[in-house]
Amino acid sequence: MLLPVPETKYQDYLEILPKVLNDLQNNKGCWSHRSGHPYLNAYVCDYNTPPEIMVQLAVLLPVREYIKWSGQECGMEKEIMDGLPAFYDEKLDTVMRWLPSEEDMLDKSEEQKTPLVMDSWYLHHPLLNLARLAQDGDEQAKELLIPSADYAIKVAHHFKYQWPVFYKMDTLEVVKAETKEGEGSEKDVAGLYAHVMLQIWELTGDDKYFKEAEKAARTLTQYGFDVFYQANNTMFSAKAMILLYKQTKKERYRDLAYLFLANIFKNVALWDRNYGFSKNLPTFFALFPLNDAPYTAVYEEQEAYAGAHDLFAYADGLDILPSVNLLLAEFIKHTVNRAAFYYPPMLPKEMLADEVKTGEVDPNLWIALEDIHDGWEPSGSVGQEVYGAGLAFGIIPRQYLKLSGTNMLLFIDYPVIQAKEKGKAIRFKVLGSDQLTCRLCIVSAEGEPLSAFKIAVQNKADQEMIDQAGKDMTEFMIHGDQEVTISLK
């Protein structure tokens, strides 16, 4: 509360998304054709690496969220879904990281670019997204998920819930035990595993999965303030602990959730890089993907952002620390403010790196860069990240609310819950802290004049400001932690 916090601006994701969708679907650099089927590349023009299931699902899930929100069909969804069964290995009874039919493309330049070598978190992340699909009623996803989950349980038991960095999928031989000597392995994988087990428990009602989640959670108490391996997985771990607390009321799970969130917040940049290439870009509250990452990364940030929203939904009705509400809501607000600047067309061309590790960077393509570096360093040196393409698709359903039968959309950059329509009105609860403010915008979905509307809020000072603003105002700063009603006149 003592920090100088920069102001945010409304970023028009409604204008950005059609450009992203067009480039993602139609730019040939985003796709490869393997074994008779199109698959998303990990990076633009990365044709030397076989398709990865994580990449397909990391894009598919936000795209499906947007389809559900907008009611618009998207042919890309079916193409990705149709390609998923080919990742299943009948011998091991699990989905694989790399497309099995194309494993001979792996050049062994890195440990994981070797057939049958698995990076521990990579096994569980696709299961998390398959579980989301299955919970949404997709039978194909369920058929891939359940046997793969049983394989994951076998691996967890073998390693006693302390996974190495890399291992062989057939023999479970350890290929690389630690991230660095003496620093341990991917410690937050146990939390990610617990998350997956809880999803399958919710899907099936089988208590064996709930028990697995609790067993994994008990191993996480040993790491303290050093559990963070990868930002999105640490956020998933926090979500899992909140759900365990909600089900069991055991305080240790809520404490673990706080611990994981503390690990996340010690890995953020709580300053604005107003120098060098970042001089005119928002950078406040950026989340680093790894403990030692020299840049912020779109994939990890977008998933941590979505995970923060989910955590709020899980925690609805629970007694949660005020600081958790404050910090998570501010992280969401500043992520929405910053994230548009992962797209190269939003950046000055001189900011883009000349040399790229993987594929190519097209400054005119609406596919996000993986990496935004310090203000003195060029960005995009890792590549233009296709698996981060879900960014805008994930933001719009979470920050925009519809009012049925109108051309109006409501944008709010804090998280909201309990949104309900009644007649010509919508009511919702704004989360966050009443000590800080968020942006509420009334925007036209079709560029037409807005209908006359009325805003009612609980905060008396906010209501007075709204009443004084006049009928032409469509953007307001209101405090968090209050109910809002917007109705047509």
Whether residue 237 contacts residue 260, with contact meaning beta carbons closer than 8 Å, is answered with yes
Which tokens hold the place of 308? 């923060």
In the predicted structure, residue 256 carries a pLDDT above the cut 80 = yes
Does residue 16 lie within any of the structural domains? no
Please give the pLDDT value at position 404.
Answer: 83
Question: Can you tell me whether residue 139 is helix, strand or coil?
Answer: helix
Give yes or no: residues 382 and 475 share one domain.
Answer: no
Give yes or no: residues 314 and 221 share one domain.
Answer: yes
Residue ranges making up the domain that contains 431: 403-488
Question: 467 versus 45: which is more confidently predicted?
Answer: 45
Please give the pLDDT value at position 307.
Answer: 97
CA–CA–CA angle 99, 105, 106 (5° rounding): 90
Question: 293 versus 39: which is more confidently predicted?
Answer: 39
In the predicted structure, residue 473 carries a pLDDT above the cut 80 = no
Q: Which residues contact 30 (CB under 8 A, 6 or more apart)?
A: 23, 24, 40, 41, 44, 367, 386, 389
Quick one: 420 exposed, middle or buried, by C-beta within 10 A (0-12, 13-18, 19+)?
A: exposed
> From CA 116, how far away is CA 102, in angstroms rounded?
12
Give yes or no: residues 312 and 423 share one domain.
Answer: no
Beta strand spans in 237-320 (E): 268-269, 286-287, 295-297
Whether residue 150 contacts residue 170, with contact meaning beta carbons closer than 8 Å, is answered with no
Task: Give me the CATH number covering residue 77.
Answer: 1.50.10.10
Give yes or no: residues 430 and 372 share one domain.
Answer: no
What is the per-residue pLDDT across 346-372, written as a single tens digit (0 to 9) for each? Answer: 999 999 999 999 999 999 999 999 999
Model confidence at 471, pLDDT cuts 50, 70, 90, reads: low
Number of domains in the chain: 2
Give yes or no: residues 251 and 353 share one domain.
Answer: yes
Of 353, 378, 399, which residue constitutes the final position of a domain?
A: 399
Please give the pLDDT value at position 73.
Answer: 87
What is the per-residue pLDDT across 415-448, written as a single tens digit (0 to 9) for each? Answer: 999 999 998 899 999 999 999 999 999 998 777 7
Question: 74 versus 251: which is more confidently predicted?
Answer: 251
Model confidence at 217, pLDDT cuts 50, 70, 90, reads: very high
Which tokens hold the place of 463? 């209501």
CA–CA–CA angle 288, 289, 295 (5° rounding): 55
Mean pLDDT of 97-118: 94
> From CA 272, how far away is CA 283, in angstroms rounded?
5
What is the percentage of the chain residues whose pLDDT exceeds 70?
Answer: 99
Please give the pLDDT value at position 470.
Answer: 65
CA distances from 218 to 190, 191, 211, 222 (A): 9, 10, 11, 9
In the predicted structure, residue 14 carries a pLDDT above the cut 70 = yes
> From CA 111, how far away is CA 114, in angstroms rounded?
6
Give yes or no: residues 366 and 413 share one domain.
Answer: no
Give yes or no: residues 164 and 276 share one domain.
Answer: yes
Mean of all residue pLDDT scores within the chain: 95
> From CA 165, how far away is CA 172, in angstroms rounded?
12
Please give the pLDDT value at position 182.
Answer: 86
